[in-house]
Amino acid sequence: MRFIYIYDPLCGWCYGFTPVVLQFQQLQMDTMEFDILSGGMITGDNRHPFSTMAAYIQREHTNVEDMTGVKFGEAFLEKLLPSQEIMDSEKPSVALTVFKLYQPENAISFAHDMQVALNYDGLSLNHNDTYRKLIRKYGLPEDEFISRMQDEHLRYETQQEFQLIQNWGITGFPAAILDTGKQLYLCARGYTPLDKLQQTINNIIQESNRL
C-alpha cells in the first residue's frame, strides 16, 4: 500500500499540511510506502512576482496559521512577499526530484525544509545557496546536487510529474492519494487534520478489503 502526497513547494496550505503527513508517515512507516509528488502550481506563463500576491497572502496566511498551527515568519511576510522575486514552482520541484535520487525515504522531510526556508526564513527557492544550506542536514554532496538540478532529463521527469497529476484531475493542493495496489483513492483534498486523514484511510482500506 502506498500513500502519495501531492503538494507544491509554493502552496501555503501545503506548508500547513506537510507536518500532518510527516506525523502520519512516522505512524505508518512499517505498513505503508510513502511518496511525494510536485504539482507544478506556478510554472511557465503563470509565474509572477511575490508582490502581486502580497495582499492576498497577507489576508490568507492567518487562516493557515489558525487551522494548521504553522507560523509564517517576518522575513517572508515583510521582505520576500513584497519583493519582485519570482514565484516559480519548477526549481524546488526539480530539487525534490534530485533529492529522491539520494534519500527517497526523507523526501517529505526535505519538502518541508524547503517550505520552512520559504515561508518562515524568507529564503528564495530560486537560489542555489538555499539548497546548499538545506541539504547539509542530510549529508549530501552540495556541488553534485546543484549540478544535477541543471540536468535536463531530471527537469523533464519533474514536468512529467506535473502532467501525471494533471491527468489525475488534481488541480488544487495539497492532496493525497492512497494506492491500495488495486485502485487509487483520493484520501485528502485540501488541509486535513491527522485524525480525519487516518479515519478516511481506514475506511478506504476496509472498503478495498471487501472488493
User: pTM of the entire structure?
Assistant: 0.95
Q: How many domains does the chain have?
A: 1
Query: Mind listing the pLDDT tens digit for each residue in 155-186?
Result: 999 999 999 999 999 989 999 999 999 899 99
* Rounded distance between C-alpha atoms, residue 100 and residue 21, angstroms: 17
The DSSP call for residue 81 is: T
Query: Mind listing the pLDDT tens digit for each residue in 28-75?
Result: 999 999 999 999 999 999 999 999 999 999 999 999 999 999 999 999
Mean pLDDT of the chain: 96
Mean of the pLDDT values across residues 148-159? 98
The whole domain housing 65 covers 2-210
CATH number at residue 171: 3.40.30.10
Q: What is the pLDDT of residue 65?
A: 97
Q: What is the pLDDT of residue 210?
A: 79
Query: Mind listing the pLDDT tens digit for each residue in 117-126?
Result: 999 999 999 9
Q: What percent of the chain has pLDDT over 90?
A: 96
